[in-house]
Amino acid sequence: MTKPLDATESAQWTAWKHATEAVSAAVAKEIETAAGLSVADFSVLSRVIENGGGRMAQHELGAMLGWQRPRLSRQLSRMADRGLLFGETGPAGRRLITVTEAGRDALAAARPAHARAVRRVLLSPAQALRNDPFWNVLQRIAGDAAPADDLAELS
């Protein structure tokens, strides 16, 4: 039987959770304020534009995001209703997602906000730790836990 976390481990775990929540919340707020996008909108647009040149098969997008089909379909429908993208049937009956000019503009507005928030809330406070083993451990954990495409979103 595995023993429970001790006081130090529990404090570290709690600090980790609060830190990741704070960074995520700051990034979400900056993106929403700058471009009116949710984090999910930002994730979809950035994947389709950066990995697909603005057009991508829906099943490929779902695989990149690690989302199940119902979640992806609901998200894409909401984004289509807002004019950020549209779907169409492509070759072999595959569903293709295309980002509109409004979607491209929104991502262009969100990118600097994303970078600003990441720098302000995460990178600047951790400046002294840049070459610290802690960052190497984080990269290793992230590499073990997420596809390479997910890691690119953090840059």
Q: Are 110 and 37 spatial neighbours (Cβ–Cβ below 8 Å)?
A: yes
Cα–Cα distances in angstroms (integers) from residue 26 to residues 30, 109, 115, in the given order? 6, 16, 11
45-47-53 Cα angle (round to 5): 90
Q: N- to C-terminal Cα distance for the chain?
A: 39
What is the reported pLDDT for 138?
Answer: 75
What is the reported pLDDT for 155?
Answer: 34
The torsion angles phi and psi of 100, rounded to 5 degrees, stand at -85, 175
User: What pTM, to 2 d.p., does this model score?
Assistant: 0.81
Cα–Cα distances in angstroms (integers) from residue 27 to residues 60, 97, 98, in the given order? 25, 25, 25
What is the reported pLDDT for 149?
Answer: 43
Structural domains in the chain, sorted by start: 34-152 (1.10.10.10)
Using a 10 angstrom Cβ sphere, with 0-12 exposed, 13-18 middle and 19 or more buried, the burial of residue 16 is exposed
Cα–Cα distances in angstroms (integers) from residue 91 to residues 31, 57, 124, in the given order? 34, 10, 47
Q: What is the mean pLDDT of the chain?
A: 88
Q: Which residue has the higher pLDDT, 81 or 124?
A: 81
What is the reported pLDDT for 35?
Answer: 97
What is the reported pLDDT for 145?
Answer: 66
Helices (H) and strands (E) in the chain, counts: 7, 3
Reported as a single tens digit per residue, the pLDDT across 91-142 is: 888 999 999 999 999 999 999 999 999 999 888 887 777 667 777 777 788 7
